[in-house]
Amino acid sequence: MDDAIEPKRRLTRKQVGQFLRDRGYPIGNGTLNRICSPAQGKGPDIDCWWNGRPLYDPDVVLAWAEARKSKRPESFTRDKSHRPSRRSAAAQAARSA
């Protein structure tokens, strides 16, 4: 009788990036690292730590990715306004001139 318990699968941050890309979410490892950094803290919840490395639950990662979907792009400005960048404003002005 073998009562060995199958350990729950957990992912490193690098594996999280590949896991999401395999499921159709276009996210790079650099972007994921930035989002998960302590400065932003907007990444998926860490399931546990092993040897100083954060490990993630795949189900939580998918739920996090689904929750980030939106109908319109998130603003990149600090005040959350959706004003165009200088480059796109200049390009729009050049087209209308």
Sign of CA dihedral 23, 29, 30, 32: positive
C-beta separation of 87 from 42 below 8 A: no
Query: What pTM, to 2 d.p., does this model score?
Result: 0.68
> Tell me, what's the pLDDT at 77?
56
> Tell me, what's the pLDDT at 7?
78
Would 27 be classed as within a structural domain?
yes
Q: What is the pLDDT of residues 4-44, one digit of tens each?
A: 777 789 999 999 999 999 999 999 999 999 999 988 889 99
By residue range, what is the domain housing residue 32? 1-68
Burial of 12 (0-12, 13-18, 19+ CB in 10 A): middle
Domains: count for the chain: 1
Would 90 be classed as within a structural domain?
no
> Tell me, what's the pLDDT at 71?
81
CATH number at 40 reads 1.10.10
C-beta separation of 62 from 15 below 8 A: no
Would 78 be classed as within a structural domain?
no
Would 36 be classed as within a structural domain?
yes
Would 97 be classed as within a structural domain?
no
Would 11 be classed as within a structural domain?
yes
- Residues 62-71 have a mean pLDDT of 91
